[in-house]
Amino acid sequence: MPAAGETETRILATGEMPGRPTAPAKALDGRRASGKTKELSRPQSRTGIRMAAASVIAVALAVSAYLFLSPGKSATAKNSIAVLPFANAGGDPNMEYLSDGITESLINSLSQLPNLAVKARSTVFRYKGQQPDPQKVGSELNVQAVLNGRVVQRGDDLTLSLEMVDAKSGDHIWGEQYNRKLSDLVTLQGEIARDVTNRLRVKLSGADEQRLAKNYTANTEAYQLYLRGRFHWNRRSAADVRKSMEYFQQAINRDPTYALAYAGLAEAHILMPGYAGVSPHDAFPKAKAAAAKALEIDDTLAEAHTALADVRYEYDWDFAGAEGGFKRAIELNPNNPTAHHWYGEYLMAEQRFEEALAELKRAQELDPLSMIINSLLGLIYQFMGRHEEALEQLKKTIEMDPNFPRAHLFLAQTYEHRGLFEEAISEYEKLSLLVGMPAEEVSRDARAMRQAYETRGASGYYRKQIEIYERLRAAKSPFAPPPFVLAGLYAQLGEKEQALALLEKSYEQHDPALVRLKAGIFDPRRSDPRFADLMHKVGFPQ
């Protein structure tokens, strides 16, 4: 990759235009022999030499100016970019958090700009460890520019090499190498963001420039701890989410005014019930406190508004407050896919399906390779009764990654809605294996469900499913579903008493799934005063 200014230096030295080969030496000799090139008959005077040199420099400067300022392809403003995961060129696995963190920080900085579409982290990180062709990436992600980077750390010295490529033509737009001390890491992030936007020729307002210049902490050690926290948070295992909380807290200890670290801590607590089995009563109040602290420090932080809105939605059951929070987050950062994603889920639970579909499609535009967003698009098609589109979307999602459990779950549910129980059993079988259930147990349960369906039809299918889930609950298996799931199965069979008893159990546990009480499966119970009372306690308007 050429260093900054290398192209211009080559023009000044040789008069050679980039991309145009110089004439071979033999061809020049031939032209001289034929008399088409004049030879100097006597040595030039010093004045002549100076004049000739000045002319060459003037021409070279004009060429450089043309290349930089002309309205050709290389100077056309780019309004979309994919920042690919920077390579950890040093090879030390302990430094992986740094290359990943600098990438994510740059993505977050650029995504603040309303006139620039920036592909989300979860999409670009699917290219991690690869060396994809920029034009292929541009086509797959529908972006105009692709940015690659390499990070090398040696002691306290940090070298970051960047290259930006036109995603359509494959032309090199810009390259730069930054040599800094690790202590300069905080200011380096802002410098890179400014350089990238300059080369993309994005028009910046005064507010945009302030966003790019914003540093959330001046403490380099706190910033590195935050990057470590994000590294583990993105790995999405119970152990990693716990580790992320430790790093976020350490970052806060180093800088108690670090709003972004509080937002990270809030997001980690939000994940704990789903990934580590922590009680919602324990996790969500802590998430709320951390998000509120982040907003007390910086009320323009979209991530904190998103986290607080999710707590209001899933735990406080304050639906109006949650919607206001999601809208504020999107207003502050329209390019934040998580805000659109979570707001889409909220709208889906409210049965505002057309609005939910629009939000999830926007989230998909920003994060086209996100497995959960693509899976949820299939789910909302199912809720809207558009089953063929649901099947098509979910199958397409599984093609992207056959090992994503949630896509198989939603596909199984869609098959159930279509009455395709054999296909649903196959998907549940795949799901169970992916989440780690013993293969022998999975195979036995699948055979039992097939037999139940063959002998007793849909009622036999659901009855056997309940039997399997009750067995897991009795054994306190980590694979046992929550009461809300069982309530839905009893509702399918028309067994109202069991369904309502399990929904009350969900309420006692403050299960976030209760926000989906409006789902059609519970329609027959809405006339029951106990169900109406439960809806009221959860916060749904009567």
Q: What is the pLDDT of residues 39-52, one digit of tens each?
A: 333 344 444 444 44
Q: How much is the pLDDT for 75?
A: 54
Read off the pLDDT band of 326 (50, 70, 90).
very high
Q: Are the C-beta atoms of residues 165 and 197 closer than 8 Å to each other?
A: no
Composition of the chain by helix, strand, coil, percent to 5: 65, 5, 25
Fold classified for 75-213: Rossmann fold (3.40.50)
Q: What is the mean pLDDT of residues 408-413?
A: 96
Q: What is the pLDDT of residues 342-398, one digit of tens each?
A: 999 999 998 899 999 999 999 999 999 999 999 999 999 999 999 999 999 999 999
Q: What is the pLDDT of residues 59-103, one digit of tens each?
A: 444 433 333 333 334 457 788 999 999 999 988 888 899 999 999
Q: What is the pLDDT of residues 172-219, one digit of tens each?
A: 999 999 999 988 888 888 889 889 988 888 887 887 787 777 788 999
What are the start and end residues of each CATH 3.40.50.10610 domain in the chain? 75-213
Q: How much is the pLDDT for 540?
A: 83
Q: What are the angstrom distances between the C-alpha of 208 and each of 148, 194, 213, 293, 332?
A: 23, 10, 9, 25, 12
- Return the closest-CA partner of residue 39 out of 49, 47, 28: 28
* Whether pTM exceeds 0.85: no
β-bridge mates for residue 117, sequence order: 80
Q: Are the C-beta atoms of residues 304 and 291 closer than 8 Å to each other?
A: yes
Q: Which residue has the higher pLDDT, 131 or 21?
A: 131
Read off the pLDDT band of 524 (50, 70, 90).
low
Q: What is the mean pLDDT of residues 489-493?
A: 92
- Return the closest-CA partner of residue 368 out of 145, 140, 164: 140
